Structure 1
Amino acid sequence: MTAHPTPPTEALMLLGDMTWPDFQRRAHTDYAIVPIGAVEPHGPHLPLASDTMISEHFAARLAHDIGGFITPSIGYGIATEPYRLGGTFPGVISVSGTTFMNLVGDVLTSLADHGVRRFVVVNSAIDNTGFLCEAARMLTERVPDARVVIVAWWDVVGEQFRDDLATETGVARRDDHHAAMVESSLVMHIAPGAVQPDKLAGETGAASQPRRMRYHVYPLPPEATTETGIVYTAEQASAHLGERVADQVARQLEDAIRLEFNDPRGQ
């Protein structure tokens, strides 16, 4: 398989590197690609900014594939529910829902005020989603000809692809959530120098069988927590698997954006 690393920064158009005349020329026609992440624990082996790294990777792949410019990342997000994190661990550096929604809304509005009308918000933290949707709704009510697509990697990876991966690896999808096999593999591929794979030796996230539930309880019952914050196993994670997932997501992401903006290939 041919590797598809993140395109080098110098090959991309970054908003922060543009002059105002550069921006003025591109604002009315280009996609504004906005990476959104979070700072929170991802097991003992992944960096706190894993979500932001993943969003930046797919923003770069998308900009390389369809054009547009990438805005500075919004790296602080909504605090993920303890149940999704596998418990309460140090490292959740979050902002309130109101602050987050206002920040995202202000950024989108500022871009729209300068003529931007095509927005792609690349998000990798699930608890951000509702607030991103509200910010987009408010923008499009204010600027009716603006269009905003909010997308996360799990939205476009594909059900059949995930099912096939589960069959191949023997890791059921019900065991593969936060900081587990697929997310760990993505970060191993995207930012190998930021991962500590030795911390996975002997991990027992799945074997310990925490109590699982579909609702939220505060504080989280001890028997519903994991030992490491891996929900529930990352034993089969690898950079090779991450490359396969990243390539699948990048293809599907490009297709989704071209569809939603009526932007056929070769145009």
Structure 2
Amino acid sequence: MAVVTALRRAVASKTCRFESVTRLIRNRHELRKDGRSRRIRTPSAGDADSVRRHRLEGAPSVAVLGDFIGPTNRSENRQATGTDHPLPVVRRTVVLSSTSEGVFENVLIAGRPRRDMESDERITLTDLTWREVEAAVDAGRTTVIVPIGATEQHGPHLPLETDSTIGEAIARRLAGRRTDALVGPTIRFGPSHEHDQFPGTISISSSTLARLLEEYVASLERSGFERVVLVPSHGGNFSVVETVHRELARSSVVDVVAIADLGRYLEFLNEGLERADVDHREPVVHAGAIETALMLAVAPESVRTDRTCAGYDGPVSASELYRDGIDAYSETGVLGDARPATADAGATILAHLVDVYSAHIDAEFDALDAERDGGR
């Protein structure tokens, strides 16, 4: 109820407004003209295009209101609500249930909210207290983006946490384009047995990762989150994520979207490298120009620039790689050539990847919403 109080104060102070009443909702059910009702989780984005007002005779009036404009900075937020609790700062759709006296009783977020740039708000789940998580869910942050990395060697110039750091950067930027998302704790281990010959690598089995993902999503569901996006950034995790995604899609109450195509991931990375005008292509991405550029862009202090080198840059047999390990190809652990990498190239690669992933996530959630609405 904290967010309801905050919204009430914000409306009273005229620092936000509501427009576009679109549907009649009560107790999380849509009331149809034939008198029947259907349970909903969130209304679809398309409903905000229709501006209609509804009233149910003899019962509290309930409406979906779109285009919520909230305080634009922390100072206005404090003035409007008397708290530092972050209210939405961009256009979004809100479900408000009200009595005839106009008292807000329930708040839900609908539609596909997004923002044009990354926010300076705390969007990482582990940065929040449990009360702040509860308030965030009440305010509509019901999507969690989960980075799935690894702890494994990345040559003599990149740290063991490279895959996890890159995954976190992708997840933060994906969340920064939405107003309904938080970044979940990074999973920092995956199947990395092909790197076992290099000290420091920590590898877990595919079945262990699969079980971890299932338990992770179940925990988010218990906390009230409604959507989860799985974002692997280590090649060995993609097949596991794909398998787990199929199971979660059937068994989980939450909507789960997964980035699970390793081939497409490598293609997008190389497209970004090309867009950065780097005349180099990596058929296998590991500690070469692409990952070194990404790390220069997001964590430059961790790159040992005096140790960048060329590694094996030819074709790789997956069977041989998993059987004999990466050191069968490269004594340094590098596949590709790290020397062409620049921070600007890394920023270009990252922006391209986030553009593609954002569009994919939107399309997947739209399809799930359409399927749900089609079942009415």
Question: TM-score, length-normalised on structure 1?
Answer: 0.79
Spell out the pairing of 1:124-135 with structure 2 (5 A cutoff): 124-135=233-244
Is 2:182 the partner of 1:69?
Answer: yes
Q: Which residue of 2 aligns with 1:3?
A: none
How many residues are treated as equivalent by the alignment?
247
Distance in 2, matches of 1:152 and 1:72, equals: 22
**1:228 counterpart letter in structure 2:** T
Q: What is the letter of the counterpart of residue 191 of structure 1?
A: A
Which of 136, 141, 165 in structure 1 is aligned with 2:250?
141
Give the corresponding residue for 2:121.
11
CA deviations 1:2-53 (Å, max 9, x no partner) are xxxx968x62322223344443454484211111110000010001000000
What residue in structure 2 maps to residue 118 of structure 1? 227
**What amino acid maps onto 1:100 in structure 2?**
L
Contact 2:293–2:345, Cα closer than 8 Å, also in 1:
yes
**8 Å CA contact 1:31, 1:118 repeated in 2:** yes
CA distance in 2, matches of 1:252, 1:34: 17
Between the aligned partners of 1:157 and 1:95, the Cα distance in structure 2 is: 23
Instruction: Looking at secondary structure, tell me which structure has more strand per residue.
Output: 2
Q: Is the 8 A contact 1:162 1:173 kept in 2?
A: no
For the structure 1 residues 138 and 196, does the alpha-carbon distance in structure 2 shift closer, same or farther, using more than 3 Å as the test?
same
Please give the alpha-carbon distance, in whole angstroms, between the structure 1 residues aligned to 2:121 and 2:276: 38
Normalised to the residue count of structure 2, the TM-score between the two structures is 0.58
Q: Quote the Cα distance in structure 2 between the aligned partners of 1:100 and 1:234.
A: 29
| Aligned 1:1-267 pairs, distance under 5 A | 11-27=121-137, 29=140, 30-67=142-179, 68-82=181-195, 88-143=197-252, 146-150=255-259, 155=264, 162=271, 165=274, 168-174=277-283, 177-200=285-308, 203-206=309-312, 212-216=316-320, 218-220=323-325, 224-262=328-366
Native 8 Å contact 1:177 1:232 kept in 2? yes
DSSP 3-state at the match of 1:179: coil
- Asked if 2 retains the 8 angstrom alpha-carbon contact of 1:12 and 1:60, the reply is no
Distance 1:183 1:113, change over 3 A: same
Shift of 1:186: 0.4
Deviations 1:150-175 (A, max 9, x none): 3589746865962871994332333x
Q: Is the 8 A contact 1:123 1:152 kept in 2?
A: no
Structure with greater proportional helix content = 1
Q: Partner of 1:215: helix, strand, or coil? A: helix
**Partners of 2:258 and 2:301 in 1: how far apart?**
31
| Change beyond 3 A, Cα 1:152–1:12 | farther
Alignment CA distance shift 1:72-1:64 (3 Å): same
Q: Find the residue that maps to 1:148 and give its secondary structure.
A: strand
Q: Which range moves more in the overlay, 59-68 or 26-35?
A: 26-35
Distance, in Å, in 1 between the alignment partners of 2:359 and 2:160 is: 30
Distance change >3 Å, CA 152–CA 31, structure 1 → 2: farther
**2-side partners of 1:251 and 1:221: how far apart?**
31
Q: CA deviation at 1:140?
A: 2.5
Percent of aligned pairs with the same amino acid = 28
CA distance in structure 1 between the partners assigned to 2:217 and 2:241 by the alignment? 11
Letter in 1 for 2:355: R
Give the SS at the match of 1:120: strand
Bigger relative CO (Cα 8 Å, ≥ 6 apart)? 1
- Evaluate the alpha carbon distance shift between residue 154 and residue 51 of structure 1 in structure 2; reply closer, same or farther with a 3 A threshold: farther
Aligned CA RMSD, in angstroms, stands at: 3.2
Taking structure 1 as reference, are residues 7 and 48 closer, same or farther at Cα in structure 2, changes over 3 Å only? farther
Q: 1:153 to 1:133 in 2, by over 3 A?
A: closer
Distance 1:252 1:198 in 2: 33
Other structure's SS at 1:73 match = coil
The separation in 2 between residues aligned to 1:167 and 1:14, in whole angstroms, is: 29
Q: Secondary structure at 2:319's aligned position in 1?
A: coil
Distance 1:164 1:204 in 2: 17
Long gaps (5+) in structure 2: 1-116, 368-376
Aligned residue type for 2:122? L
